[in-house]
Amino acid sequence: MSDLLLIDDDQELCELLTSWLSQEGFQVRACHDGQSARKALADSAPAAVVLDVMLPDGSGLELLKQLRNDHPELPVVMLSARGEPLDRILGLELGADDYLAKPCDPRELTARLRAVLRRSHPTATPSQMELGDLCFSPVRGVVTIDQQDYTLTVSESRLLEALLQQPGEPLDKQELAQIALGRKLTLYDRSLDMHVSNLRKKIGPHPDGRPRIVALRSRGYYYSL
């Protein structure tokens, strides 16, 4: 049974989602503000977090920043009543693994949660991957370059693993989305692009200045040799 932390000030929604997710085999703890959420996280780290953008005592995006500092590999699915593209982009830029606009279908939330949890516990994962000056541990979700470690989110880790398995060979966006996000991209969905952007910022270019991850317009991405 996976322990989930649900952070949302809408108590009626929390009760509904807790009831649904409990029937789906999850153990749910609900918090309705940032302060109680921080205490719950300090008491016991969950398997995943569902986090609302709007909280009564601050922004969920600020809490997400703290989560990424304290628990970089913890899967996080963001919720937003506004569903604005800017909210989605900011959430993904700050390291959310996935994003849903409210009101959301509990079945879709369940599917997204199971996808991020599967990606956080992959099977048949190599212990270490090396290419040039880059060394990557998929199990730990850590990239080492010039003796400097960079911790990746679950989605970033799955994305880099897929690219390193076929260096120099383009991978289609839909294929990468299935691997990194556990779902297909919808029209105007830039989730994958945001994860690639975050990954690029962390690992930087090759020593000679060439980008490590190259985009092919309307096709996908590849890791350059």
- Delimit the domains of the chain by residue range: 2-120, 129-223
Lowest mean pLDDT among 24-33, 111-120, 164-173: 111-120
Q: Looking at the domain that runs over 2-120, which CATH code has it been given? A: 3.40.50.2300
Report pLDDT digits (tens) over 55-103: 999 888 899 999 888 888 889 999 887 656 677 778 888 888 888 888 8
Under 8 Å CB-to-CB from 16, ≥6 apart: which residues?
A: 106
Residue 62 and residue 36 in contact, taking contact as beta carbons nearer than 8 Å: no
Q: How confident is the model at residue 49 (pLDDT cuts 50, 70, 90)?
A: very high
The predicted-structure confidence for 75-85, as pLDDT tens digits, reads as follows: 999 988 765 66
- If phi > 0 it is left, if psi is from -120 to 50 it is alpha, else beta; for residue 168 that is left
Do the two domains 2-120 and 129-223 of this chain adopt the same fold?
no
Rounded Cα gap, residues 117 and 124, in angstroms: 15
Q: Tell me, what's the pLDDT at 99? A: 87
Percent of the chain topping pLDDT 70:
95
Residue with tokens 């090396």: 130
The length of the chain is: 225
Q: What is the pLDDT of residue 114?
A: 86
The yes-or-no verdict on residue 169 having pLDDT over 60 is yes
CA distance 166 to 177: 16
CATH of domain 129-223: 1.10.10.10
Mean pLDDT of the chain: 88
For the segment 139-167, the average pLDDT, to the nearest whole number, is 91
pLDDT at 145 over 70: yes
Distance of CA 134 to the CA centre of its chain: 22
String of b and e for 125-155 (b: at least 16 CB within 10 Å)?
eeeebeeeebebbbeebbbbbeeeebbbbbb
In the predicted model, what is the mean pLDDT of residues 181-196? 85
Give the C-alpha separation, 157 to 140, whole Å: 9
Dihedral (Cα; 75, 116, 61, 36), 10-degree rounding: -50
Q: Is the previous residue joined to 103 through a cis bond, with omega within 30 degrees of 0?
A: yes
- Over 70: is that where the pLDDT of 137 sits? yes
Q: Is the pLDDT confidence value at 40 over 60?
A: yes
